[in-house]
Structure 1
């Protein structure tokens, strides 16, 4: 509402100033007009939208990221949505970047290129933070019409543009992870929701394979998580990992820019400790499945062994005998009984 006070601030001399929505809109419009004139002169077909960040959003960001008011760089924001052919998207985006930074000094540390490396949610954009007039930081978001529709409408809009794609997209990866979780019979509802939330809301890091291919993983992911993200069979055979050419433990936490090499062995098998080495639901699910398969195989061998031993005592292994043994050894299930017989903890 024009004329309504948004907030107050004090300058370096201790003088109090009030900022109202009319002032903010005029400020954003002054930047928008300068950029629109230059973009039109360069033949860039685009629309510029501007908005001030609400007080509630500013406060929420300060609390969530534990930053000061001055460290919230998108209090003023512009969005440039441009039209172009699909094969020209990246070129036009960086052309707009050049035009914007010709007028306003950018902050290199605040540049976010999600066009070259889209988020796993499908979000694509170029975010630039520049120093605007009167010493105020302004965030400029650069998107094509396709990127903007995906950002506003989500993955439902993604397939509208997906034609002839050969690489697995972020959506495909996300849907495959969801499919694996839903098909996992061992996971209960609580585990499913927790794992789903963890991977859905976690921040991302971007790492590289030895061949230079980029992979996105949740922040906090380990080198063993990376192995499972390449392929489940590679994950379960992982014997060691190298990060940036150095041997590291399987639970080594990765950082953006790391290059990871996986060392495998056909004789390697997951252990129970591996569940403490991973953070992603994909890795945890596969490790649990392999451990359960191993447990069942050992239990089958244990059942045969127990049957032979009882036969020497002229006792037939039936349901009644199994139940008596489960109670005697203070176990929960027949599977526990057979497993312990298989590993030799029950003589």
Structure 2
């Protein structure tokens, strides 16, 4: 009896990874930009009329834009869609063969209805070859906030197809405006809902979110010298963190939010320093000839990648949070800057200039 139970349990455990793998349609680590994943997105049907109207087309276009932004998908031209009817389920007459004929591996169908000042969106992701629904969601949102629901559904699509949630329901911070008078703003990843964080006549640069998304640290020339400031995303008055009247740039929060790494010329050439979230100096991380800039924390908070001229041209190096001897990472190009760790901590993205460009 014990042997049978052991064999049954062993067989069950063997099946688990196969089942979880079968649910992954796009392997991110093996993804090739030349072979994008075909997906069809139908215009949303207005439930009362049974057809797609201007609102249904607009909402579907937002989803197509989100999926295109993800970089994984080839959006099948909707001119190839034979199914333009109101059916959202097989019980209502949904014909999977019409979607298989489009060449799409998966497809999205949806409908909506108006309820007072709100829209009720019903969205479904199907695999036509399996005749199976992969994701089904219903959202009730104000009429002018339909894009918020679409961002959430786009994240659900990424989760269902890759095993990892997308970024569509997150915010980005940027410096925008006329040269020399850039202001810090936050917005959705597709550029919607832009909200100002600073409102001055100076230049403001290099915003960086705290891990909880509630604070921004950035460089501002509001007090003439480039000093570090911190502000709540709720647009409270920015708090000044540095007072050395020198260069203080490229701040970066640690993953736990307790420290900020940045570049400062307070002792001569720009080196890397650590301060806490109140502006108290903790440590000097680097000391070399030439500039050290653009610190970026590894996801576990143990390492910091940065750009340095210590080797002549600007190259990437990595040190630990205690300022150990930096290890060089790049050896080609004459300007390698702005490193950013991948969420898993196994790769670093950066900007590289070589030759004349």
Give the TM-score category using the shorter length.
under 0.3
Specify which structure has the higher proportion of strand: 2
Q: TM-score, normalised by structure 2?
A: 0.24
The answer to which structure has the higher helix fraction is 1
Task: Flag the structure with more relative contact order, 1 or 2, with Cα contacts below 8 A and sequence separation at least 6.
Answer: 1
Instruction: Give the TM-score of the pair, scaled to structure 1.
Output: 0.25
The structure that has the greater radius of gyration is 1
